[in-house]
Amino acid sequence: MDIAERLLAGDVRGLARAIRLVEDRDPAAEAILRQVRGRAGMAHVVGITGPPGSGKSTICDHLIARWRSAGHRVGVIAVDPSSPFSGGAILGDRVRMQRHTGDDGVYIRSMAARGHLGGLAGAAREAVRLIDASGRDRCLLETVGVGQSELEVMQTADTTVVVATPITGDSVQIIKAGIFEIADVFVVNKADVPGASKVARELRDLVRQTKGMTTWQPPVIQTVGTTGEGVDDLLDAVERHHAAITESGELEQRRRRRLRAEIEAIVVERAAERARRELRDGTMGSELSGDLRGVDPYGLADRILNGHTGRQDP
Amino acid sequence: MDIAERLLAGDVRGLARAIRLVEDRDPAAEAILRQVRGRAGMAHVVGITGPPGSGKSTICDHLIARWRSAGHRVGVIAVDPSSPFSGGAILGDRVRMQRHTGDDGVYIRSMAARGHLGGLAGAAREAVRLIDASGRDRCLLETVGVGQSELEVMQTADTTVVVATPITGDSVQIIKAGIFEIADVFVVNKADVPGASKVARELRDLVRQTKGMTTWQPPVIQTVGTTGEGVDDLLDAVERHHAAITESGELEQRRRRRLRAEIEAIVVERAAERARRELRDGTMGSELSGDLRGVDPYGLADRILNGHTGRQDP
């Protein structure tokens, strides 16, 4: 069996190999993605974001355990450099996560936040699609709530959970991080720490003020990661959100938007490849070896984009 | 006088208007950039990055003051959301910065880290070029050391200063943040806090281990932002780096690399524009309004990139 067939048959190593090809921007990845595309679209993709130290990974851990108990198969993409999933953990986090190792029903993959030629968001989106096509019906996407690329990653999620704590950030910081708008569910973790209720109240007020007229009003769930308190409520909110957007047609709309974004990303990636090739090997390269003063980057860019890369007559 | 002429004449408001056009991706920006291009290339562009709370802004403040005393004209682009330059300050930072307001020789501009259609790096690079062309011979670029886009911003700098502190981060975190490789000068700020010497020693060891064979070995400078201690050494290191790369031809090479990167960025931005236009208004849009199962994003992307966007025969 080739990689795509193994992936579709649910083989973990087939899935892992395919994701590696995607990460490496290997030309073979495209064929696999085309082959498995028709089988994707069944997974509920849940994004979870928040500052380092907010306890995202602990919450993910609880969600995974509950999903597994309910018979779901789970995939996790961790692009948070501080996440134990992505190997950046200290202290006991790494140990705690090990309870899933050996469970074939949980596939965990970390992705570096840097160094993706085609963009982190593209690699994450394609990895999610592969997980989806491999028959895993729950997919977690964990990121840190900073930076444009992390925000783009979150656009792959059907349901986005934003985690705050009384320690790592109040509502103002969530707004500043640009993650308020993308939240479908808020979690105030470390609810046993003083100030948690205040943060929760602020978030509820903000939701009322800004999303008063929308059909889905993001609930604010208080959790205690260490004990698992509130995680059932969170799971319930996540499932309710999914049901709500499925019924309202919003899920379908999101997927259409996402497909457009995906096509745009592919166009961009290929244009960048073309530019790099031309600037390295093509005639453009030699045009840039002389005096730079007279070089018009806009004109050269247009010629590359339109394929007119031969040296122009003087 | 039009905007470009005012900018070239050193008029601050002309510069500000031009940068705004660049930030808004206004079509008029391109003409201005073309017009002023030949006058750029004289400024020493110094990037400064590090975690929030490392005291970057205070150090910038000292550098600006010293440059001003030496008769230089200065431009600052702050893309750090926690920087007082970018308006995200709390406490006394904002007040401290005000000492430059009213000084025409210091132009400070904050840039949002998100929401740049053509990419933050592109906007920052063009803003730096405008500052350069306006006759300012020192340009500071301040970012937080996280995220791909911030790293890309730093590629615009001739000299990159990476700030650590005993509190916000040791050498391991600098490596994890991906900013070790881009550093030309290290600063250990808050040198009066216990642990500073240890961080400095670690960094020196790392430099020796990894950059032992390169011509320029990044020095590690200890500073105390609050008193200004060590800032003269920093300034000296920055100037020495500039002299060294000018002499070795590395500066010229960096500028060539940067021009290539710039052309690539323009190609990418235009490709993205083309994709968005097609997916919204063109026939591609209608192809995406039906059942999504059979849609091949790779095929559609190729057609957009190559301008074959008419509906294909069945």
CATH number of the domain residue A129 falls in: 3.40.50.300
For residue B260, the chain A residues in CB contact (below 8 A) are: 279, 288
Interface contact A272, partner B, CB < 8 A: yes
CB contact under 8 A, A272 and B260: no
Task: Provide the phi-psi class of B135: left if phi over 0, else alpha when psi is between -120 and 50, else beta.
Answer: left
Residue B134 lies in a domain: yes
Residue B198 lies in a domain: yes
Residues A65 and A192 in one domain: yes
Query: Which residues, in sequence order, are CB contacts of B177 under 8 Å at separation 6+?
Result: A81, B51, B145, B146, B169
Q: To the nearest whole angstrom, how far is the Cα of A14 from the nearest Cα of chain B?
A: 22
Strand partners, A165: A169
Interface contact B255, partner A, CB < 8 A: yes
Mean pLDDT over B102-123 rounds to 74
Residues B227 and B272 in one domain: no
Interface contact B268, partner A, CB < 8 A: yes
Reported as a single tens digit per residue, the pLDDT across B227-264 is 999 999 999 999 999 999 999 999 998 888 888 888 99
> How would you write the pLDDT of chain A (314 residues) with one tens digit per residue?
899 999 999 999 999 999 999 888 788 998 999 899 888 888 999 999 988 888 888 999 999 999 999 999 999 998 876 666 665 433 334 444 556 667 789 998 888 765 554 567 888 889 999 999 999 999 999 988 766 777 788 888 999 999 988 876 667 777 766 778 889 999 999 999 888 999 999 999 988 888 766 789 999 999 999 999 999 999 999 999 999 999 999 999 888 888 888 898 889 888 998 999 888 877 777 777 777 767 888 889 999 998 876 544 43
Residues B64 and B163 in one domain: yes
Out of A224, A248, A272, a domain closes at: A248
Q: Which helix (H) or strand (E) holds B44?
A: strand B44-50
Q: Where are the beta strands (DSSP E) in A194-253?
A: 220-222
* Cβ neighbourhood burial of A278 (10 Å; 0-12, 13-18, 19+): buried
Interface contact B120, partner A, CB < 8 A: yes
Q: What whole-number distance in Å separates Cα of residue B126 and Cα of residue B25? A: 11
Q: What whole-number distance in Å separates Cα of residue A237 and Cα of residue A232? A: 9
**In terms of CA atoms, which chain A residue is nearest residue B38?**
A293
Interface contact B301, partner A, CB < 8 A: yes
Lowest mean pLDDT among A268-272, B81-85, B133-137: B81-85
Residues A312 and A284 in one domain: yes
Residue by residue, DSSP assigns A119-141 as: -HHHHHHHHHHHHHHTT--EEEE
The pLDDT value recorded for residue B232 is 97
Tokens 């390269």 belong to which residue?
A285
* Cβ neighbourhood burial of B291 (10 Å; 0-12, 13-18, 19+): exposed
The pLDDT value recorded for residue A101 is 66
**In terms of CA atoms, which chain B residue is nearest residue A289?**
B256
Nearest CB to B255 within list A81, A270, A292 = A292
Mean pLDDT over B82-101 rounds to 52
Residue B312 has pLDDT above 50, yes or no: no
Residues A144 and A263 in one domain: no
Out of A194, A224, A248, a domain closes at: A248
Residues B129 and B196 in one domain: yes
The pLDDT value recorded for residue A127 is 93
Residue B10 lies in a domain: no
> Long-range contacts for B23-31 (Cβ within 8 Å, ≥24 apart)?
B23/B111, B23/B116, B23/B123, B23/B127, B25/B116, B25/B117, B25/B118, B25/B123, B25/B269, B28/B3, B29/B126, B30/A298, B31/B4
**C-alpha dihedral (B66, B67, B73, B74), degrees to nearest 10:** -90
Interface contact A296, partner B, CB < 8 A: yes
Residues in chain A: 314
Q: Which of residues 67-106 of A touch B (CB under 8 A)?
A: 81, 88
Interface contact A147, partner B, CB < 8 A: yes
Tell me the pLDDT band of B298, cut-offs 50, 70 and 90: confident
CB contact under 8 A, A176 and B293: no
Out of A248, A266, A290, a domain closes at: A248
Residues A143 and A261 in one domain: no
Residue A31 lies in a domain: no
Q: To the nearest whole angstrom, how far is the Cα of A265 from the nearest Cα of chain B?
A: 8
The pLDDT value recorded for residue B314 is 39
Tell me the pLDDT band of B89, cut-offs 50, 70 and 90: very low
Number of structural domains in chain A? 2
For residue B295, the chain A residues in CB contact (below 8 A) are: 259
Residues B197 and B256 in one domain: no
Q: Which domain holds residue A304?
A: 249-314
The pLDDT value recorded for residue B48 is 94
DSSP category for residue A163: E
CB contact under 8 A, B274 and A255: no
Residue B26 has pLDDT above 90, yes or no: no
The pLDDT value recorded for residue B83 is 65
Interface ipTM > 0.85? no
Task: Identify the residue with better confidence: B71 or B100.
Answer: B71
Q: What whole-number distance in Å separates Cα of residue B149 and Cα of residue A119? A: 10
